[in-house]
Structure 1
Amino acid sequence: MKKSLISSILLLFLVSCAQIQALQDEPETYDSQKQKILTEKAEDRDINLPPGSTIIDELRFQGFLAIGGFGSETNLQVNSITFNVALDKVGFMPLISVDSMSGIIVTDWYSLDDGQSRIKINIRVVDQEMTDESVTVSLFTQSLDGDRWIDQGINSEQSLKIKESILTSARSLKIASEL
């Protein structure tokens, strides 16, 4: 009786260990391989990304889309021409975040004159169309007062000029590409 009990426990232990090994031997999916490669490249270039970054953690973002009703197969529909033109327009500034999937570009603060004032631009390409509603631009300004930066708010006039410049260039490129 004692031998059969020990044999049963030993058999149960061996079977459960074999199942653990089988799980470890499963091939990686395409998404996990892609995420692994992106992580390795970021580490090779000494890029420190925060946990949950949209650049590396694409799987979590796809899960969010599925919860929102978009489905995991659906990408957000952002006009790549408009997005690339917008990126080109602000490419001279230091960039904090660029996400082509959601169409968002965020610059860091950039000083224009003797370090007394600075600007920061947020751009969002919303859809495939090239209408005024397809792009939102916010240009934030600050001025230096002693050793403190004072917010001056959003410069609506300059924001509108940047938006119009992006849309005009994007429309021209689209027309040229259709010739």
Structure 2
Amino acid sequence: MRHASRLALALALLGLAAAACGETRSVRNDEYGDDSRRARVQGRLSGASDGLVIFGVDRSRPPGSAGDPGGGPGLGVNAYLWRATLDTLSFMPLASADPFGGVIITDWYSPPAEPGERFRATAYLLGRTLRSDNVRVSVFRQVRDRNGNWVDQPVSPGTAAALEDSILARARELRSQSLAAR
């Protein structure tokens, strides 16, 4: 008896789920009548913009300008810091990048001159403004021991700070280039 009631409940839930998935809605042409959106798209196609859009953010407008307050709706962090972090850490293989949460994680990288040593970095972008306290980098280092195992080792104290400084310098450069292109 119990088995039958569980089976009936499972079938009922499955039926409800299938019915919910089957519901469709057709899109009407008047839903695309937003002239401001059409003008932005036409502006990009006519060359009024650089045409590069990252998750709905037009990089030709600096974050914080009237058309793009704080990096736009699609990017959770400052667009210049995001791009600068990717550029600065580009020598390391990328493991993951979350533009909404502002986290970039690299995979292990071994310098060609030191194959028995490897590094990994995690960058945290903490805000939507181009400020030094919106970038934090953590660097991890491992060295291969005699048995071939990787062992955690301390990183030089200035390594993370040097990467943060490089990211900020690159972000400022990107911002200057963007303003000069206007």
**Structure with the larger RCO, 1 or 2 (CA within 8 Å, 6+ apart):** 2
1:119 corresponding residue in structure 2: 119
- Alpha-carbon shift at residue 138 of structure 1 (Å): 1.0
Rg bigger for which structure?
1
Q: CA deviation at 1:177?
A: 1.3
Change (3 A) 1:169 1:20: closer
Structure 2 CA distance for partners of 1:20 and 1:114, relative to 1, 3 Å: closer
| AA at the equivalent of 1:88 | D
The 3-state SS of whatever aligns with 1:111 is coil
Q: 1:26 to 1:162 in 2, by over 3 A?
A: same
Q: 1:152 aligns to what?
A: 153
After superposition, the CA RMSD in angstroms is 2.7
Query: Equivalent residue for 1:175?
Result: 176
- State the SS of the aligned residue for 1:176: helix
1:23 aligned partner, one-letter code: A
Question: Structure 2: how far apart are the matches of 1:21 and 1:98?
Answer: 35
> C-alpha separation between the residues in 2 aligned to 1:21 and 1:169?
51
Q: 1:25 to 1:109 in 2, by over 3 A?
A: same
Identity of aligned residues (%): 32
Conserved? CA contact 2:137–2:164, under 8 Å: yes
Report the Cα distance in structure 1 between the residues aligned to 2:88 and 2:159, rounded to whole angstroms: 13
Equivalent-residue separation in structure 1 for 2:170 and 2:17 (angstroms): 57
Structure 1 contact 104–124 (Cα < 8 Å) conserved = yes
Higher percent of residues as helix? 1
Q: 2:101 maps to which residue?
A: 102
Are residues 76 and 176 of structure 1, via their aligned partners in 2, closer, same or farther at CA, if it must alter by over 3 Å? closer
Q: Give unmatched runs, 5+ long, in structure 1.
A: 1-17, 29-73
Contact 2:88–2:170, Cα closer than 8 Å, also in 1: no
State how far apart, in whole Å, the 2-side matches of 1:20 and 1:160 are. Answer: 52
Aligned-partner Cα distance in 1 for 2:171–2:89? 14
Partner residue, 1:86: 85
The DSSP-based 3-state class of the residue aligned with 2:122 is: strand
